Amino acid sequence: MTDEKKAEILPGDRFDAVIVGAGFTGLYMLHVLRQKGFTARLVDAASGVGGTWYWNRYPGARCDIESMQYSFQFSEELQQEWEWTERYASQPEILAYIEHVAERFDLTRDIQFDTRVEAATFNEDTGEWMVETDRGQALHARYFIMGVGCLSAPIKPTFEGEADFTGETYQTSIWPKEPVDFKGKRVGIIGVGSSAIQAGPLIAEEAEHVYIYQRTPNYVVPSQNRPLTPEEVRDIKSDYKGFRAKAYAGLTAFLFERHDQSVFDLSPDERRARFDDYWNIGGLPFLGAFNDILFNDDANQACIDYWRSRIEEIIDDPKLVDLLTPDEEFGCKRLCSGTGFYEMFNRDNVTLVDVRGTGIERFTPTGLRAEGVDYNLDTIIFATGFDAMTGSVTRIRITGKGGQTIQQKWAEGPKTYLGLMISGFPNMFNMVSAGSPSVLATMVTAAEQHGDWVGECLDHMRETGKTVIEATPEAEAEWTAEVKRAGDASLRTNCDSWYVGSNIEGKARAFAPYIGGWPPYVARCNAETASKYENCVLSAV
């Protein structure tokens, strides 16, 4: 993008809305507001659109939702004309798509790049937000809308001696734009989450040696990624609307075949055959093999037994199978979908380093020391995850009514009404984040649903002459309890994961996304709109 195309920066500007984040969510919100005749300024710290797909450029970065579904549906022309090449799109292809959308709907003229929002303060006298950026600006807006993503506040542990390490370090979540050369290098990768699982096998093909430092193993299933065939694309596009409607009716807003049968409805042979079918489908849909994998301990154990039998077929060394086998429920953490992850450990140039004991103790000038052993490394990669769900919100100093900050408000975990609104923070909308299905649904579909909901809400405010909207404390308490109830009903709250915030020291444990299902969630949102916001207080200042 040329500098001329970037939105002009005018200190002290006033808008109907300031939107934070130029990923799928913020871009769609901007599009909706513009269509409705509201003025908006979108601010993003990156130099271009894309959000998570702008930053996560590491080798192998790829979506785990099918590309024909991980895309906008608001424009029939867009979805008919865009050509996805693979079942699961790679980061470059998704970024190209988002750039195309921004260009096609002329969004960039209202986006201010290379600018980080540092603070936002609600003024109770004017009913407006003042949004402060790292460029020393103060943007004023009636509505403050966060589209900052669930996995966009990267975390990186610090180790003694890091400054003395003479090699290169990288972080998967803020990967450089320029290609990184691993040829002839000894590479250490810290972590075995989805990012490391995708990057490791590709780096191992190039590097002299790869050391994977694993503290807690993860379940990985094969993604079974492949090129899309012209026939299947034609088939979906012949009735894209109908295809989307079917996805919308499902629990996660994406379409995959889900068997409504218990593991125990089938004989052992039939059960194995069903698991085989779903292994061949691969990726997150593997969880659709039976309806009780995530809800019944014995069904979950049957799934683990099957998974283990497959991993034993892949990995030559049984000791490695033991080391790579998690001791928690299957699917409790987000299931990792990979290509060649377990196969990688049969290579002579890959070593799994179990760091469950004393861990990575320190960096040295020539590498790192883990579990009492010194490793010589040229390159160290942090694939160490995110302050998920809330971190991208709480790293901004947001101050609501009575001087209360979002950090104070969420000290014991996120409290929201429908995920979208926060009592005490009027005229603020927090999109596709804690308290809504977000990461458990298709993020793009969730972005559209929230964008439409906020758009209708702002229409209502304009039509009725109201200027301030705030969820009641009672509605927020009821919804927060419902989010907890739904989480408690699932095995997913049982283990440590970023879903519950346990990867961040001192963070209150709470299952952040709403796991009660997409259709009931959408129905609740629609009911709120239909009731003309009966669970909110609307006023005019």
Q: Distance of CA 398 to CAs 145, 238, 410, 418, Å?
A: 12, 46, 11, 19
* Shortest CB 154 distance to ligand NAP, Å: 8
Q: In terms of CB distance, is 119 or 174 closer to ligand NAP?
A: 174
* Shortest CB 214 distance to ligand NAP, Å: 7
Nearest to 73 by CA among 517, 433, 448: 448
* Shortest CB 375 distance to ligand NAP, Å: 13
Q: In terms of CB distance, is 71 or 194 closer to ligand NAP?
A: 194
Residue nearest to ligand NAP (CB): 193
Nearest to 213 by CA among 336, 345, 350, 355: 355
Angle between helices 240-248 and 518-530 in degrees, nearest 10: 90
* Shortest CB 437 distance to ligand NAP, Å: 14
Bridge-based pairing of strands 397-399 and 379-382 is: unpaired
List residues near ligand NAP by CB under 6 A. Answer: 62-64, 151, 157, 190-196, 198, 213, 215-216, 334, 337, 355, 359-360, 383-386, 498, 503
* Shortest CB 186 distance to ligand NAP, Å: 18
* Shortest CB 300 distance to ligand NAP, Å: 19
Q: In terms of CB distance, is 38 or 498 closer to ligand NAP?
A: 498
Bridge-based pairing of strands 367-370 and 336-338 is: unpaired
Q: In terms of CB distance, is 391 or 424 closer to ligand NAP?
A: 391
Q: In terms of CB distance, is 217 or 517 closer to ligand NAP?
A: 217
Question: Hey, CA dihedral for 140, 149, 154, 424, is it positive or negative?
Answer: positive
Residue whose tokens read 């193993």? 217
Q: In terms of CB distance, is 224 or 261 closer to ligand NAP?
A: 224
Beta carbons of 416 and 389 less than 8 angstroms apart: no
Ordered DSSP codes for 257-282: ------GGGS-HHHHHHHHHHHHHH-
Q: In terms of CB distance, is 223 or 535 closer to ligand NAP?
A: 223
Q: Which residues contact 52 (CB under 8 A, 6 or more apart)?
A: 23, 149, 151, 152
For residue 458, what are its two tokens? 């702002």
* Shortest CB 508 distance to ligand NAP, Å: 17
Residue whose tokens read 């179990």? 354
